[in-house]
Chain A
Amino acid sequence: MRSVYLDHAATTPLHPEVSSLMGEFMREIFGNPSSLHSFGREARKWMEEARQKVANLIGASAEEIVFTSGGTEADNLAILGVALSRSEKGRHIITSSIEHHAVLDTCKFLAKKGFEVTFLPVDRYGIIDPDDVRKAIRKDTILITIMHANNEIGTIEPIEEIGKIARDHGIIFHTDAVQTAGKIPVDVNTLNVDLLSLSAHKIYGPKGVGALYVRKGVRLEPILHGGGQERKYRSGTENTIGIVGFGKAAEIAARDLDQEFSRTKRLRDKLIRGIFEKIPDVRLNGHLKQRLPHNANFSFFGVEGESLILSLDLQGIAASSGSACSSRSLQPSHVLAALGLPYEWIHGSVRMTLGRTNTESDIDYVLEVLPDIVARLRSFSPLARKLQA
């Protein structure tokens, strides 16, 4: 059977150059980068090269990169780190209602511990109004954390402008760039950010490794204490194999960014056009233009998302859904809910995210298979009948 992977926002396969480098490193180099002897120095050399490559991807300098166990830890370190180091100055944090749970739940945790959090709304395309950020700022605001682009709907936020507002007010600004780095240009100076989260497995690197960019001069309390690695920001012997893979992945992502951007965007646009041509009562969630090039998020009226995902899976197509039934928690997507989407449409949402593995014929195949799946599920949906009536 054909196999079409359309879930690159969830994770990506290792790039062959990444896996071969990791293999080589893992076979030959085992030293602890903190050791003074030649074994340690060799490992450190590889790790520092990787740090430079990750820094290059986002226009930072190597000393500003703190390796972590992934995007989740980077988000936690940024938010908890600022909260712990600045709680004397204030206890107010501004974020949005569409953040990834790594940010959202960390902010909610702080709200339970005596901090105050403002969750900004979004418009129906998922865009945060910088003016809302400005208005939410108080004397005791210590941190603004707003994602660069959303992982479900792909909406790109006006980070540059929000960053400027934060800087004018002397407030630390963090952005979660897990979904954007390597996909669209990310430059920490253009974006006016102080802290920025990255994850390797979204850019054809290994799982379980990521980084937090920490602008020079920004103070942060560590959340992991111990041996003082990563300039004391993150204790624990570094995941050298993962970090080396992350470095390679970052290098390739930067090298191929323009090409992959246009390639995935062209295929994605073809997918959207085809679906609108072939399937009635469908909507595209998110913004038409201010959107990641490889993201599409549809809602098919009268069809439940998990049923759709499983039907696609039976045909070899991998996608994901924001419906309550498709999540372990049985919570419908908080992102689609924040758009003001009625539950019937949230229930029928499907995200398709393209990447390196996809070809033109993948899209043709999806366009061939999907209309029948939707029609079949609608044939026994009481809601779809209502629509026809």
Chain B
Amino acid sequence: MYSEKVMAHFRNPQNVGEIPDASGVGEVGNVICGDILRVYIKVRDNVLEDVKFMTFGCAAAVASGSMTTVLAKGRTIEEALQITKKTVAEALGGLPPHKRHCSNLAADALRKAIEDWKHKEARTVS
């Protein structure tokens, strides 16, 4: 059912865990299936120096969390914001149609983490 790439990331997910002093955190819950995915980012000089994720989710959620963090790590904020559900799914070699929304969580959580960071930035500046 899953592609080789999805299974590889599921077996050996990259960047799992928390960042204790994260610059931003984004959590997305999926009301349809119940998966939860959280992304932590560490930002320095407008670059995502570190990205980690945690999930209470299925293989599609795990693999997309892994792939999203891989794609985002080392990118500028602007570049990271270009990462979409579609980019993640394509990088994973596609996902079964009924699994699409489980795999959408990660890109959404990344965006939320960036928003969280922006809010915090705005507060520290002012």
Choose the segment among B34-42, B82-90, B112-120 that binds chain A (4+ C-beta atoms closer than 8 Å): B34-42
Question: Provided the pairs A332-B34, A382-B27 are in contact, do residues A326 and B54 lie with their beta carbons within 8 angstroms?
Answer: no
Residue of B nearest to A324 (CB): B33
Which residues 278-326 of A have a CB within 8 angstroms of B? Answer: 302-307, 310, 314, 323-326
Structural contact, B102 and A382, CB atoms closer than 8 A: no
Q: Report the minimal beta-carbon distance from B19 to chain A, rounded to whole angstroms.
A: 13
Bound-state CA distance A310–B62 (Å) is 12
A365 interfacial by beta-carbon distance below 8 Å: no
Question: Provided the pairs A304-B35, A310-B10 are in contact, do residues A380 and B17 lie with their beta carbons within 8 angstroms?
Answer: yes
B67 interfacial by beta-carbon distance below 8 Å: no
B94 interfacial by beta-carbon distance below 8 Å: no
By a CB distance below 8 angstroms, the chain B residues around A190 are: none
Structural contact, B98 and A330, CB atoms closer than 8 A: yes
- Which listed residue, B7, B32, B38, B54, touches A324 by the CB 8 Å rule? B32
Q: Could you say which interface size class chain B belongs to?
A: 20 to 34
Structural contact, A379 and B55, CB atoms closer than 8 A: no
By a CB distance below 8 angstroms, the chain B residues around A314 are: 11
Inter-chain contact count A-B, CB under 8 Å?
Answer: 73
B57 interfacial by beta-carbon distance below 8 Å: yes
Residue of A nearest to B17 (CB): A380
Q: Report the minimal beta-carbon distance from B7 to chain A, rounded to whole angstroms.
A: 8
Q: Report the minimal beta-carbon distance from A302 to chain B, rounded to whole angstroms.
A: 6
Q: Report the minimal beta-carbon distance from A369 to chain B, rounded to whole angstroms.
A: 14
Question: Provided the pairs A307-B10, A310-B10, A324-B34 are in contact, do residues A382 and B55 lie with their beta carbons within 8 angstroms?
Answer: yes
Question: Provided the pairs A307-B59, A330-B98, A347-B56 are in contact, do residues A382 and B33 lie with their beta carbons within 8 angstroms?
Answer: no
A381 interfacial by beta-carbon distance below 8 Å: yes
Structural contact, B56 and A381, CB atoms closer than 8 A: yes
By a CB distance below 8 angstroms, the chain B residues around A10 are: none
Q: Report the minimal beta-carbon distance from A292 to chain B, rounded to whole angstroms.
A: 27
Structural contact, A382 and B11, CB atoms closer than 8 A: no
Question: Provided the pairs A314-B11, A380-B13, A382-B27 are in contact, do residues A302 and B33 lie with their beta carbons within 8 angstroms?
Answer: no
Structural contact, A343 and B55, CB atoms closer than 8 A: no
Bound-state CA distance A314–B16 (Å) is 20
Q: Main secondary structure on chain B at its contact with chain A? A: mixed
- Which listed residue, A310, A323, A326, A383, touches B36 by the CB 8 Å rule? A383
Which residues 2-46 of B have a CB within 8 angstroms of A? Answer: 2, 7, 10-11, 13, 16-18, 27, 32-36, 38
Bound-state CA distance A310–B2 (Å) is 10
By a CB distance below 8 angstroms, the chain B residues around A381 are: 54-56
What are the interface flags for B55-86 relative to A under an 8 Å C-beta threshold, 1 for contact and 0 otherwise?
11111111000000000000000000000000
By a CB distance below 8 angstroms, the chain B residues around A330 are: 32-33, 98, 101
Question: Provided the pairs A379-B16, A382-B27 are in contact, do residues A325 and B33 lie with their beta carbons within 8 angstroms?
Answer: yes
A37 interfacial by beta-carbon distance below 8 Å: no
Structural contact, A304 and B61, CB atoms closer than 8 A: yes
By a CB distance below 8 angstroms, the chain A residues around B33 are: 323-325, 330, 332
Question: Provided the pairs A306-B59, A382-B36, A382-B38 are in contact, do residues A325 and B54 lie with their beta carbons within 8 angstroms?
Answer: no
Structural contact, A303 and B98, CB atoms closer than 8 A: no
- Which listed residue, B56, B61, B62, B98, touches A302 by the CB 8 Å rule? B56
Bound-state CA distance A303–B2 (Å) is 19
By a CB distance below 8 angstroms, the chain A residues around B101 are: 330
A2 interfacial by beta-carbon distance below 8 Å: no
Structural contact, B27 and A326, CB atoms closer than 8 A: no
By a CB distance below 8 angstroms, the chain A residues around B57 are: 304, 307, 325
Structural contact, A304 and B13, CB atoms closer than 8 A: no
Q: Report the minimal beta-carbon distance from A81 to chain B, rounded to whole angstroms.
A: 34
A139 interfacial by beta-carbon distance below 8 Å: no
Q: Please report B residues at the A interface, Cβ cutoff 8 Å.
A: 2, 7, 10-11, 13, 16-18, 27, 32-36, 38, 53-62, 98-99, 101-102
9 tightest A-B CB contacts, nearest first: A325-B58, A306-B58, A324-B33, A380-B16, A382-B54, A383-B56, A381-B56, A347-B34, A382-B38
